[in-house]
Every structure is written in structure tokens, then in C-alpha cells.
Amino acid sequence: MLREYLELWNALDQKRLDATFQRWFKLVLQLINDHRAYSHAVAARYMADMRRQAGLGPAPVAPLAPLDPGVAEETMRIATVPVIKKQIGDRKPPQEAMERGFINSAGRATKLAMDPGRDTVVETVKRDRDAVGWYRLTDGDPCWFCAMLASAGVRYKSEQSASFEPHDHCGCSAVAVYSKSEQLPESNRQYADLWRRVTRGLKGKDAQIAFRRAIEGR
């Protein structure tokens, strides 16, 4: 998706941002929706595979929720136009201003595209009477926030408040759990151990600050 997004980036003219945004956004919206459908399809296949591995038959998968074009337009505009204009106002070179806009908006676009895959797993698990829950699997270099959520382990279906909470540029995924005896990946166990060690005697924001400092090495 990022390769395709980069190809569309030239449709946004730095000298005519407001005038070219709408045409650019229509191209981007189609790209996002294409990859949202793909993300949902991959997650649906994944859930079917997980049930087969658990010795279970097919089960309904949560449907793909449509993306509100108005919401998408607003979120992509905020992630693009004012960011570039601020860079220009700060007297950054034109190329640097556009690079910053690309990085910022690409993170927003990929989040919109990847959300259906994560949501499909989480919502299907909630509906699946055979599923125990799900857990957050981070990428190889997660931020402290993602590592903290991964340290929580399995989110059981009884925890109605549990949600995935992805952010822009987030590389985490949701993994379905069909057995209470399933062992979590080593990275999740390491984050859980770190959380216990550095937050002992702390609560709330103080615990989060201690964990963040430990993750970031300060």
C-alpha cells in the first residue's frame, strides 16, 4: 500500500495544497478502501485457519464496516495540509516539508487500511463462543504504548472494555486465542515481566511513566 500511496503523492501540489487536495484525496480514498477490503479478507482467512487448528469448524466472521468518506477526508486533511503548511511556515525546504507531510499522512492512511483486519479479529473473537480471547502482538520495534498493551496478555471476552487502540504507524496485530493454556510469544512475556518489575508499588500514570522510561532506556 505504501508503494501505491507514494505514487499518488505527486498528485498533491505543494504550491496549491487546498486546490489539489480534493482530487488527491479521491485517489487515496479508493486506495484505502481497496486495502481495507484486503485487510478484512486476510483476517477472515486467518480466523478460519485458527479455528481449524483448534479442531473447530467454520464460523461467521464479523463483517467489514464501511469507512465514512467524510471522516476519512477530515482525518487525511488534518494529517496532510496543516502539517505541510507548518513546515513551510517554519521555513523548511520544500522537499523536507513534503516529506514530513508524506510520513505523517502515510501513517494515518495505513492505519485506516489496517484497522479492518484488527477489528475483524477482535469482533469475531467476541462473537465466537469457542474463542477464549485475543492478545496484542507487536512488531519488532514497538513504541512503549504498544509494548504496555502487549504486556497485558490475553484480553478475555469477559473484559468488555478491552479494545485494540492502534495508532498511526502502528505495526501491531491481534491474535485469536482458543485455549486457556496457550503460551504467549516471548516478547509478550518479556514486556509483562518488565511491567511487573518497574511498576512495583506504582499505579496509573506513574506506572506508565516508569514503564515508558524502561522501554526507552532512560
C-alpha distances in angstroms, 102 versus 4, 88, 114, 139, 182? 13, 14, 18, 22, 40
Domain range summary for the chain, segments of one domain joined by +: 1-129, 132-218
DSSP state of 64: P
Q: Which residue bears the cell 469448524?
A: 57
**Triad 54, 179, 215: Cα angle to 5°:** 120
Please provide the average confidence, as pLDDT, over all residues in the chain. 95
Q: What is the pLDDT averaged over residues 78-102? A: 96
Run of H or E residues at 177: strand 173-177
For 37-89, how does the pLDDT look when each residue is reduced to its tens digit (9 = 90+)?
999 999 999 999 999 999 999 999 999 999 999 999 999 999 999 999 999 99
For 206-215, how does the pLDDT look when each residue is reduced to its tens digit (9 = 90+)?
999 999 999 9
Residues 6+ apart with CB under 8 A from 60: 124, 127
